[in-house]
Amino acid sequence: MLFRSEVRTPGRDHPISITDAGATVRVSVKDRVVAESSHALRLEEKGYPPVYYIPREDADMSLLVRTTHYTYCPYKGDCTYYSIPMGGAKSEFAVWTYEEPYEAVARIKDHLAFYPARVDAIEVIS
């Protein structure tokens, strides 16, 4: 573990909910599909826009390069990042993942999330 200091549990003051997306979620960069899944999760956290987490198995990991950048969230745990080189500078640190998330958000383990501004599209297809 990298930064573990304060651990917080989601609750009334800071709710976090994780549900099935109920749709196919597709992420693309430079007209290439980087990830597409009908098993994506939708995470909603107070103070942030909803985020789609796509299973790693539904991403083309050959298009991603792991970085040495790390952050910490007291509600989710240690976070690691990937860049998408074909997207150029815009797609640096475009992907994040919690490889060992805290128990309250364990469903996002083995999933990837994408910054909308660092990819060309995140489509939610009903």
Question: 33-82 pLDDT, tens per residue?
Answer: 999 999 999 999 999 999 999 999 999 999 999 999 999 999 999 999 99
Q: What is the mean pLDDT of the chain?
A: 96
Q: Check whether 3 has a pLDDT greater than 90.
A: no
From start to end of 21-120, where are the E strands?
24-29, 32-37, 41-45, 51-55, 65-73, 77-83, 95-97, 111-114
**What is the pLDDT averaged over residues 15-43?**
98
What pLDDT does 6 receive? 86
**Poorest-pLDDT segment among 2-6, 8-12, 60-64, 119-123:** 2-6
What pLDDT does 43 receive? 98
Q: What percent of the chain has pLDDT over 70?
A: 97
Q: Measure the CA–CA gap between 9 and 37, rounded to whole angstroms.
A: 28
What pLDDT does 5 receive? 72
Q: How far is the CA of 59 from the CAs of 18, 56, 88, in angstroms?
A: 20, 5, 19
